[in-house]
Each structure stands twice: as C-alpha cells, then as structure tokens.
Amino acid sequence: MQNNSESLKALNEKLEMLLKKQELFSREIWEIKGQIQAFNIEANKDIPKEIEQITEPENHPISPEPVFPRKQTEEPLIALKQQTIPPTSTPRYSAKQKSDLEKFIGENLINKIGILITIIGVAIGAKYSIENDLISPLTRIILGYVMGLGLLGFGIKLKEKYKNFSAVLVSGAMVIMYFITFAAYSFYEIIPQTLTFLLMVIFTVFTVVAALNYNLSIIAHLGLVGAYAVPFLLSNDSGRLEILFSYVAIINIGILFISFKKYWKSIYYSSFLLTWIIYLSWYFFSYISENFTLAFVFLTVFFVIFYCTFLAYKLIKKEKYDIGDILLLLANSFIFYCVGYSLLSDYETGEELLGLFTLANAIVHFSVSAFIYKRNLADKNLFYLIAGLVLVFITVAVPVQLDGNWVTLVWAGEAALLFWIGRTKNVPVYEKLSYILMVLAFISLAQDWMFYSSYNSLGEESTFTPIFNLRFLTGVLFLAAFGFINYLLQNEKFPSPLKKGGFSQKLISIIIPAIFIFVLYNCFRLEIADFWNTKYVASYLEINEGNDSYTNYHQNEDYTHFRIVWIYIYTLLFLAALSFVNIKKLKNNVLGYVLIVASTFAFLLFFTEGVFALTDLRQTYINNTLSEYYNRSVFNLLIRYIAIISVLALVFAGLISVKSGILKKGLQTPFNILLHIIILAILSTELIAWMDIAGSTQSYKLGLSILWGLYALLLIAIGIWKRKPSLRIMAIVLFGFTLLKLFLYDISDMNTISKTIVFVILGLLLLIISFLYNKFKTKITNDVEE
C-alpha cells in the first residue's frame, strides 16, 4: 500500500507540472493572438475565425484525472497555418510589400523631400532677392521670420492627427529660424550680438524640447544637425570665426542635453562628424597665427562637449562600448591633441608648452578614469579604455619633452608594465596597448642606432668607449624589458586573455622573441662596427709627395676589412651559440628552422664578402701596402683561421640540431650537401691563400681544378661506402662544373706543362670514378638514401 501511495503522489506531482506547462502555453498563444489582432487592425483586415476560437486561458484546478488539451488547440492552429499560406503560386508577400513601400513613400519620404525642397526654394529666392536688391534687408529678415513662424504654427497644429508630418514641418521651421537669425546678425547687422545669441539659445532649447516632446530623432537631425549648414550657405567670408564656432558650440550643447534624455546615437555621430569637418576645414585652409587663442579655445570646447556626450552614453545609459565607440573616443582625443600640438608648435612661445600640453591630456583622462573607478560607475572595460588613453599620452609626452635614448627606455618599460598587467591581471586592453608600445620602443631604438655616431671627425682622436656607452646600455635595458616580456609570454601560468590559437597570437609568439634576438645580436655587432670605424676615421693622413707639393689623402683600409671579417666571425659564433641554446634549453622547432636558414645565408655572405675582405688583408700584408705609415702584421693572415673556426662551430651546431630531433629527419640530406659545400669552400680558400703566399699565378686555375676533382672522387667514395646517392650525384655535378671551368676558363692562359698536368690528373680521376661505379654497381643499384 505504501508503494501505491508513493506512486500516486509522484503521478500527481507530474500532473501538476504538466498543467502548469499547459497554462504557460495557453498564455503564449493568447499573446500571439493579441499581436496578430494588432497587425490585422493596422492593415484593415478581419481577424481569422480560427484565431477567434482561442479564448483566454483559465486557471485549471489540479484534478486526479488527466487533462489532454492538445486536441483542443491543435485544430485551430492547423487551420490558421492553412489559411496564412495560400496554395497559389503567387508570392504571398508581394501585396504587403507594395503596401509597405507605398506607405513609406507617401507617409515618410515625400514629406521630407518636400520640406527640403521648400527650404532650398526659400534659400534660392532669398539669394536672388539679395543679389538683385529687390527687397530691403529688414524686409527680408521679417519675411523670413514670418515664414518660419507660419510653418512652425502649421506644424504644431497638425501634431495631434499627423505626428510624423508635423515633426518634419517643425524641423524645417527651426532650420529657417536659424537661417534668418544668422543672416540678420552676420550680414545685415540688424540684430545685436547679445540678442543673436539669446535667439540662438531659444531656438536650440525649443528644438530640443520639440524633439523630446515628439520623441522623434528626425527633429533633432533636421533642426540641429541641419543647422550646421547655415553659416556656409550664407557665408560672405566675413571672417567672424567667434560667431561661427559659438553657433556650432550651442548646437552641440543641445545635442549633449538630448544624449542624457534619449538614446539617439545617430545624432551624436552626425554632429561629431560635421563639427570636426567644419573646424578642421577652417584650420587647414584658413588658419593664421593671429587666431591662435580663438582656435585653441574652441578646439577645447568641442573636445569637452563630445567627451561628455560619450561619457553620458556610457554612464547614464550603462552602455557597453564597442569598436565604434573606441574609434570615436580615440578620434576625439587625438584630433584635440594633434591640432593642439600643431597650434602650439606654430605659436611663438608654444614649443615650450608642448610637453605640458601632452601631460595635461593625460591628466584629463586620468581624472575621468579615477572618477569612474572610485564611484564604480561603469564596467571595468570603460575604465581600462580611458586609463589606456592616460598611458598613451604619458607615452607621447616622453618624446615631446625628452629626446634620444630616454624615449626608448620609457616606452620599453611601459610596454613591459602593460604586458605584465595584461597577462597577470587578465586585462586584454592592456596587453593590446603593450604591443603598440613594443613597436614604438623598437622603432625608437632603431632610430637611436641609425643616428648615433660614436667617432669624431677625420683624423681626430677617438672618444669611443666599448660596452660602457649610452647606446649599448640603452640596448641592454631594452633587452631586459623584452626579456621579461618573453618570460611572461612563454610562462604557462599566465595565459593570454586574447583569443587563443588565432593567427595573431601565433604571430606575436614569433615576433616578440625575434625582436629580442635581433636586438641582442645588433647590440654587439654595432660595438664591433664602431670600434673599427673609429680606428679607420682616426687613420686619416694628408701626405705631401713630390716636388710639386701634391697632397695625397690616405686611410688604413685594413680597418675596414677587419670590421667586415670580425662582424662575420661574430655573426657565425652568435648563430652557433643560439643553436646550442635552442638544442639544450629552448627546443623550439620554429627557431631551429630559422637558424638553419640564417646560417645558410651567413655562410653564403661569408664566402663572398668575408672571403674578399680576407683576401684584401692578405694582399696588403704580402705587398706591404703603405707599410711606412701603417703597421702590417701577420695577424692579417692569422685572422682567417679564427674565421674558419667560427664556420666550423656553426657547422657543428647545425649537425647537432639535425641529429637532436628538433628538426625533421628529412633535412639530413640537404644538410650533408651543405656541409660538403662548406668544407670544399674552406679548402678552396686555403689553397688559394697559400698558393698566393707562395707566389703562384695558377691558384684560381690549376690548383682549384685539381682540388675539386679530388674532392669529387672523395664524394664518390663516401657515397658508395655510406650508401648515399645524394653525395654521388653531388660529385658528378662538381666534376661536370670542374670540366666546364677547365675548358672555358683554365686553358686560356695556361702553359703546356700546366695543361698537361691538369688534364692528366682529371683524366685519371675520371677513370677511377668509372672503375668505382663498375666495381660497386650492384651495391649502387640497390642504394636507398637513409
């Protein structure tokens, strides 16, 4: 019995739940019926009978007997569906489309076009009467007011029955009132200044009240925004800028008031755009220094008005900002700053105030952000946005007030601070701002490098201090900031608040470490370059030779060659050290591939420009060029072995990278080919160097051809022994190139003995290669590259 009682109780609870759902469904159906009735009444249509069958839902008592309402409501709904979808092939929306279009044109579009044409007609008529002096100025003004007031009265009278049409008439009337008042003061001087401003204020207040009363933004658009055009339609180049800008400011204040009452953002956008177009057009095309005070005052007024309007939307309406709001706030702030900066720059004592003006911008935004934060008036994103503007203007104030290396240091420090806040406090806005500062800091550092000169004029004693100089120390502090950023970037405890896995995130994870490595490399490279450049400049000599007192100018060119060679030695060792760090510590695949590519280019450049510099050093030592003025030591020869050691160090680092598994195994074959090319290049340069020291004239012909032939034979042997077809193919290519060199270059100036030697040797080498291929043909045929 107890089980039956519990089952009955459970069924009753389930029944009660289903009845509640039924009641909710019935109420929803009733609401839909009301909406359909409203639409049908508006379209002058009868309510479908099937809908009339749906009645107000009643509260059903809980009954032990089940109630099935599905059958009662299903048929009317099916009938409604059948009625609303006619079976004909004619589109069911065509008649309604035509009706709606006709209604829109007749009730909305025509009246707006009509009032616009009316205003244009009045303006043309007024312009004609003025040009032909048909009506006295006072009569023109009176007639204008009469027409405006008549249109206004007619519009107000029609408000009760024709609200939209009435609103258009009232808007047009207010434009005419603005038009006439401005003309009466600016051109005819019929109305004094005080009365003009009073009337403008009255018109603005009335337009605002009318817009609020009608609850239609069209009045604000035509009455306020349309009024911007009045000064330009009636302009006679009188130059009364204070009137023009005061007039625009009054209109903007009206818009500011509306923004507190209505949610009409289109008016705000329109006024923002038109105001700054008017101001900037005047500034770029008509501004003169005598108007400085006027220009600066109204620049500030417009900035404050739109800033307050922006805050009104965010604080009063509790609106969350989107990308459009960000752009609007930034545009308003930077128009104010850029124009203000330009005004001060052109003013006679303004340059001294540039830093203070920039800091003042930061203080304004800081005050607003502090107020928002303290009162908890908006979501944190608005606070972060305005606080970001504070940081931006403080950042800009640095180069304005300071110069040189301090700018780089402050920006790099700010970037590290913002990135730390963004990552550790999970604030995306700060992280995004930090990227901008990173770019600025890097550009500033590059400019420091570009314009920094560490040595004096020709022939003067050098003042260059290696390592302990401002540029190097700036680079070290920059590296400290970016090293901290890289630590946070790679630390999994601080994930990015930005979208994960996106292209931008992957790009950032590559660019920031790349900047760190690039700056680290260049800090020392520039020290090396400046050291030898200083010596080169200090070696300048003016020597009088001969009886005619002819003056020769000399400099020790070895210093230039030493600079090139030492930079390549440093580059090769830097890449080798970075490769070992990546193998042991970082284990980054992307960095591994980048290092392989960079190493290949470093080898290519070293064996061209670097080898030529070594050759020039060797020649000056052998020939004792200008040895009476400059010291020529054996180090001109020995430095080549330091360079070879650096090449071998990088080759070894590359070999370890390939074998360590950081890179794909498919790179083994290309790396082996590159390795043998480098070995052959080293052997070739050594052969040329020692044959040159020995006084041989056949180093580039006989010697190289024999060396390349022997190395081709060695590659064949290794390729057969190690089962590497790639090396054998390389050997064949090398031998073919050697034969081309022999016939196209070597034999042209070679004596008979030399020709005999080289031909015999190469011929024997070819026979040996052929013998090896025949002897191991079975093994070669079955070779597969490992």
Q: What is the pLDDT of residues 367-379, one digit of tens each?
A: 877 777 666 655 5
Which pLDDT value is given to residue 233? 46
Do 565 and 614 form a contact (C-beta atoms < 8 A)?
yes
Instruction: For residues 137 and 211, state if they share a domain.
Output: yes
SS (H, E, C) 706-726: HHHHHHHHHHHHHHHHCCCHH
Instruction: For residues 714 and 781, state if they share a domain.
Output: yes
Which pLDDT value is given to residue 324? 67
Instruction: For residues 125 and 73, state if they share a domain.
Output: no
pLDDT at residue 587 above 90?
no
Residue 73: inside a domain, yes or no? yes
Instruction: For residues 125 and 218, state if they share a domain.
Output: yes
Residue 187: inside a domain, yes or no? yes
Which pLDDT value is given to residue 228? 64
Instruction: For residues 47 and 121, state if they share a domain.
Output: no
pLDDT at residue 660 above 50?
yes
Which pLDDT value is given to residue 129? 66
Does the reported pTM lie above 0.85?
no
Residue 118: inside a domain, yes or no? yes
Do 536 and 555 form a contact (C-beta atoms < 8 A)?
yes
Do 243 and 186 form a contact (C-beta atoms < 8 A)?
yes
529 Cβ contact list (under 8 Å, min separation 6): 563, 567
The kind and range of the H/E element at 382 are: helix 380-401
DSSP assignment string, 454-504: -S-STTSPP---SSSSHHHHHHHHHHHHHHHHHHHHH-TTS--SS-TT-HH
pLDDT, mean of residues 513-524: 95
Residue 43: inside a domain, yes or no? yes
Which of 744 and 720 is assigned the larger pLDDT? 720
Q: Which of 205, 238, 271 is the last residue of a domain?
A: 238
Tokens of 630: 């400059």
Instruction: For residues 80 and 124, state if they share a domain.
Output: no
Give the separation between CA 785 and CA 190, rounded to whole angstroms. 100
Do 676 and 729 form a contact (C-beta atoms < 8 A)?
no
Nearest partner of 435 among 539, 362, 511, judged by Cα:
511
Residue 335: inside a domain, yes or no? no
Output DSSP code: residue 350: G
Q: Which of 188, 216, 238 is the last residue of a domain?
A: 238
Q: Which of 198, 220, 238 is the last residue of a domain?
A: 238
Instruction: Give the end-to-end CA distance of the chain in Å, rounded to a whole number.
Output: 83
Do 608 and 628 form a contact (C-beta atoms < 8 A)?
no
Which pLDDT value is given to residue 323? 63
Give the separation between CA 586 and CA 489, rounded to whole angstroms. 13
Nearest partner of 367 among 320, 442, 308, 423, judged by Cα:
308
Domain that holds residue 786: 697-786
Rounded percentage of the chain residues whose pLDDT exceeds 90: 14
Residue 663: inside a domain, yes or no? no
Residue 197: inside a domain, yes or no? yes
β partners of residue 541: 554
β partners of residue 542: 553
Interval 596-626: pLDDT, tens: 899 999 999 999 999 999 999 998 988 888 8
Instruction: For residues 7 and 71, state if they share a domain.
Output: yes
Give the separation between CA 324 and CA 402, rounded to whole angstroms. 34
Which amino acid, residue 226? G
Do 610 and 643 form a contact (C-beta atoms < 8 A)?
yes
* CB environment 169-195: b (16+ within 10 A), e (fewer): bbbbbbbbbbbbbbbbbbbeeebeeee
pLDDT class of 780 with cuts at 50, 70, 90: low
Instruction: For residues 124 and 206, state if they share a domain.
Output: yes
Give the separation between CA 617 and CA 635, rounded to whole angstroms. 9
Tokens of 333: 């702030």
Give the separation between CA 653 and CA 387, rounded to whole angstroms. 48
Instruction: For residues 128 and 13, state if they share a domain.
Output: no
Provide the domain count of the chain: 3
Instruction: For residues 67 and 126, state if they share a domain.
Output: no
Which pLDDT value is given to residue 60? 44
pLDDT class of 230 with cuts at 50, 70, 90: low
Instruction: For residues 178 and 120, state if they share a domain.
Output: yes
Instruction: For residues 127 and 36, state if they share a domain.
Output: no
Residue 763: inside a domain, yes or no? yes
